[in-house]
Amino acid sequence: ISWSVEDEAVIATNTDATECKRCAVELGYWKDEYITYFAKHVDRKAPEINRGYYARVKAIEMFIHQFLERCGTKCQIINLGCGYDTLYWRLKDTTQAVSNFVELDFPSVISKKCHTIKRNKQLLEKICNEDGEIVLRSGDLHADGYHLVGCDLSNVPETARKLAAAGVNTDSPTLVLAECVLVYLRPDAADALLAHLASSFPRLLLLLYEQCNLDDKFGEVMVRNLNLRGCSLAGARQCGKPEAQAQRMLAAGFETARCWDMRAVWRALPEEDRARVEAIEMLDERELLHQLHAHYAITVATRGELFADIDLNC
């Protein structure tokens, strides 16, 4: 398989995200015992970046909690463009481990993640219990309740095949997570994937974390930056106003869709949590954090009664 220069640049965004998370974890923004396996050495990041990552991780966690409250553990999570995300292991350490957890990314990312898991007992033991079996097949990893599979998400038939091979059951309540991923797909490919998901899962919660409001000066800089990281200009420009993001989900076939920029998300986080992280580092550039928060958003789109009332302020 040969990867284009664009794909290489996109794949590198995962290294960057993992290093940022490790830096914030080391400073005490949130706990993650597993991130160090995936990012060996990191330079200190700017306080705005650390706080931005905290808001993202915390908010996604709050929505996942609402999902699990509604369906218990008999449900599945699909992590699109998972990179080195450690959510599977963090959930395993709670009472909220789900029946099936499926992670997808480009095959080269999956094979590196697989390699890291195999080399580290603390990661491996959460995947297979004593008599559990791990099957490695064409670069993918299949275990009871955990699947790590390589594919190009812009190829819907391939993605659908990989989901089926990972034991995904379309009748089961399903959470699909896509953090900073769909922006790297061509807009028509991202729309096709969203439409496929919306038509396949009658009980579905989609959580999307992505850039938004890219039509101002700060947004233009972000578009250029995204473009350097392998994102097409058309892809970057699809990150419009939150209302447009929600509209896009409805057009793809979701029944409800809401989108909040990270300023609103930050205000909705518990006050004690905000106070705690505000005390970790001084912010020299308050305006920069404000701008960053104005240019990222969380979109929640649903199908089925079960998830229709999931909200930011729950």
Residues of each annotated binding site: 56, 81, 152-153, 179
User: Annotated binding site for S-adenosyl-L-methionine: which residue ranges?
Assistant: 56, 81, 152-153, 179
Scanning the chain, the segments in alpha helix (DSSP H) are: 5-26, 47-71, 87-92, 107-119, 121-124, 156-165, 187-200, 217-228, 233-237, 242-252, 262-268, 271-278, 286-294
Tokens of 237: 């420009």
Binding residue for ligand SAM (CB under 6 A) from 184, 201, 266, 296?
184
Binding residue for ligand SAM (CB under 6 A) from 52, 81, 145, 240?
81
Residue with Cβ nearer ligand SAM (192 or 306): 192
Tokens of 152: 């190009």
Residue with Cβ nearer ligand SAM (116 or 256): 116
> Smallest gap, in angstroms, from Cβ of residue 241 to ligand SAM?
22
Binding residue for ligand SAM (CB under 6 A) from 91, 166, 185, 249?
185
In the sheet where 256-261 sits, what is the strand order? 134-137, 140-143, 146-150, 100-105, 76-80, 174-179, 204-211, 296-303, 256-261
Residue with Cβ nearer ligand SAM (34 or 184): 184
Distance CA 13, CA 175 (A): 23
Among the listed ranges 42-50, 179-187, 256-264, 297-305, the one in contact with ligand SAM (CB under 6 A) is: 179-187
- Give the count of alpha carbons within 13 A of 74, CB side only: 4
Chain CA centroid to CA 231, Å? 17
Among the listed ranges 38-46, 175-183, 197-205, 292-300, the one in contact with ligand SAM (CB under 6 A) is: 175-183
Binding residue for ligand SAM (CB under 6 A) from 32, 48, 103, 105?
105
Q: Give the CA radius of gyration of the chain.
A: 18
Distance CA 206, CA 303 (A): 9
Binding residue for ligand SAM (CB under 6 A) from 19, 103, 152, 210?
152
3-state SS, residue 149: strand
Antiparallel, parallel or unpaired: β 204-211 and 296-303: antiparallel
> Smallest gap, in angstroms, from Cβ of residue 130 to ligand SAM?
31
Residue with Cβ nearer ligand SAM (83 or 145): 83
Question: What amino acid occupies position 292?
Answer: L
Residues 246-265 that bind ligand SAM (CB under 6 A): none
Interaction between residue 181 and ligand SAM (CB under 6 A): yes
In 10 A of CB 64, how many CB atoms? 20
- 55 to 74: interface string for ligand SAM, x by CB under 6 A: --------------------
- 109 to 128: interface string for ligand SAM, x by CB under 6 A: x-------------------
Distance CA 169, CA 165 (A): 10
Binding residue for ligand SAM (CB under 6 A) from 153, 190, 197, 257?
153
> Smallest gap, in angstroms, from Cβ of residue 179 to ligand SAM?
3
Question: Where do contacts with ligand SAM occur on this chain (CB under 6 A)?
Answer: 10-11, 13-14, 17, 81-83, 85, 105-106, 109, 152-154, 179-181, 184-185
